Chain A
Amino acid sequence: MIPVTAASARSDQGSAPPASTASGKGPGRAANGHRAWFLVLPALIPILLLSVGPLLYGIVLAFTDSQAGRTDPTQWIGLLNFQDLLRDTLFWESFRIGLVWAVAVSVPQFLLALGLALLLHQNLRFRWLSRALAIVPWAMPEVVVGIMWRLVYHPDAGLLNETLGTHRDWLGSLSTALPAVVVVGIWARLPQVTVTLLAGLSNVPRELHEAAAMDGAGAWRRFRTVTWPAIRPIALAISALSFIWNVNSFALVYVLTGGGPGGRTRLPMLFAYEEAFRYGQFGYAAAMGCVLVAVVSILLAVHLVARLKGDDDA
């Protein structure tokens, strides 16, 4: 319909219809119709078989008494798993710990990252160093991050005790275990969130910033009226993602504490893992997964609604 110009094609987010050439025979149509299916199938089949399928199967499992190594057929037991979950104080405890953990990691992480991004956006010396260093935690296997912090928190040979001159077992004592793993959680993805926000800052129109400064707007006012509106979409996206990542955390805490001491750091994922692969309670663990999905979906929906509303205001 719309003639494709060089400019519109390059900035185009696909808004031009596929059949954009006059003859309708151009390569824009190369992937049309049955040909598109041919190109899509190699990815679509594994997605359906190994992602969508298991997901639906997982929901079905939540309504059964599926267990490891049972010989009699699996029975459909309706809502029994969910009723058991409601009464399972250990589950609620881990659910509570999971929420505390996700909030305690995500919120400070975001605020720190925002401050750092604003800082690194400035023309400071040594900022190359922080950018270079930031790659390391990002690229590290989570298992190694966990091991590294075990070395830092070690009661005898640890960096923290050495610095403070103490001999505490940070990961092993009831009062400090959760705060200690929260610090690791913040550390692990701080660079990722910072660099993401930094990418968002490159969208901030410099002239607008300068004009606001000329008009005598203070730093806070400039942030609120110029910077924040420009980085808002990326900030909302990364904050939602990091919250979900934290809810689904496993490796970090598994390596650091294994869920202990006394279940103080037993995140929902660790709890479900134990139920499924240590005690073989597949149906019960699947029900747990369903509850987690429901909660995350609700939180995500709230977040998305806030985002859409914000876009309307803009």
Chain B
Amino acid sequence: MQRRTFIKGVAASSFMGIAATDLQAESPKRSSDKRRTLTGKEFFLDIDYTPVNITGKRSVATTINGQIPGPTLVWQEGDTVTIHVTNHLKKSSSIHWHGIILPYQMDGVPGISYKGIAPGETFTYRFKVRQHGTYWYHSHSGYQEQTGMYGAIVIKPRKREPFRYDKDYVVLLSDWSDEKPTSIYRKLKLSSDYYNFNRRTVGDFFSEVKKKGFGKAFDDRKMWNQMRMSDRDLSDVTGYTYTYLMNGQNPATQFKALFKKGEKIRLRFINGAAMSFFDVRIPGLKMTVVAADGNHIKPVRVDEFRIGVAETYDVIVEPTSNRAYAIFAQSIERSGYALGSLTPSASKLASAPKMDKPQALTMADMGMGMSKMGKDKGMKMPMKKSMKKYRWSAMEAEKYPITKLPIATGPQSTMKAMAPKYRLEDPGVGLRNNGRRVLTYADMKNRYSTRRAKKPDREIVLHLTGNMERYMWSINGIKYADAKPLVFHYGERLRITFINDTMMNHPMHLHGMWSDLETGDDNHLVRKHTIVVQPGAKISYRVTVDAKGGWAYHCHLLYHMAGMFRKVEVV
């Protein structure tokens, strides 16, 4: 079938004169460049439907240049890049550059930054690259991201980086389903535990009775039962429908990263999944985490890290023996994993280690504080230490004037975290006391001093709210459709505190501006674009409001996003 490429006219993009002129000069050609990696200053991306077979069943994906993931775009810090994106779909599409600091008109969020890219049209993005590191891009329209529309961005630094490596690989994790996203979403609405095959059984209760006696076992269940919540509710969508991919490869075909013994290998992990958190490790190797969300951090040596949806972590590993190592990313609820091999030869593949058993949520994940938690023997978290260290954070809260925001109670929200705590040292459910050194937010320190950063002018507190029973998500009990935009003032330094009134991890992503995470050390705030708010927890970060326009601010879980979303207006 012959496709015609329409060039977006001046009128259609009147709000951005640059693109229009550029388009006329460049006359983008249909390229469908199928190379995995594209380098340079000008890029041609084609969005289309592509027949795929990922699970053994034929299905149709939404792809960029016909591939999953889309091509890795390699940019140079300081360059101005031009990206022509042509939409060959029958519906509107878009591409958002996740974590990239740019003018809002280039951010790629339909309804906020622009109208989206209409069927048959080409939209040209053009902006100066002001940062370096590991990022990614994805569709911000409907459920296109779930069906294949995502890819990595690697930005080469202008100055030499403060660490060395010999080889460099992108490791892009994602989740694929042959089911239509609308069908997944409908099932969640009809029955929110549809995909959960780790629900509590009668047997679980009796084994608890055997361990602690009926009275105690019943008592321990009481709070959950009264609140009508499940401590096994770790992930909405699971391996029941998902196949977990690493650079588009399933665990059978495997992504292979080649090394020579003694080399230092940089792995750029990106979580481009729609709904899945991954716990990543390379059994037999220590990983040195050197960057988070594209920004350098002081190196931390770990065995394992959790990567929330939309986060990126760069690690350096140094394989010591001539064997294949498994790059193992198990999903948070342990219903499956993505697998690749770090191997000296493409014919040597690693086998997956055993998946961990899923852990249950605790009272702390319900935001129930310490006293109640202590009663639960199954759980020993480094809480005391964490409390002491972060007491300042609680005090910090009183230091800045709090701007009151509308908040609603009602069917939107099933729970309120009664005593939410800063839990930066808590690796999170599933990773507690597993005998491995697990990266936490408390381990992360900015490589460069943030001592001179302005102190916040004011603070806003946002509650992440939801009703699991009805599968509804919102912020402050108000879903996006009913919410007024958040107003940020250009030039101010804002402190944002999230309180998670739900039992799920929410990766919160603010477009257009950095989120400087408070980890207990004002001199080393960690610069991120996506902040995971643990269930029942509280977290604070600072934002320098240095980008005018309209921005999206939302949970990055695809099926939470529609409700757990705010428009930010910087005025």
Q: Do A and B make up one complex?
A: no
Chain B interfacial positions (CB closer than 8 Å to A) = none
Chain A interfacial positions (CB closer than 8 Å to B) = none
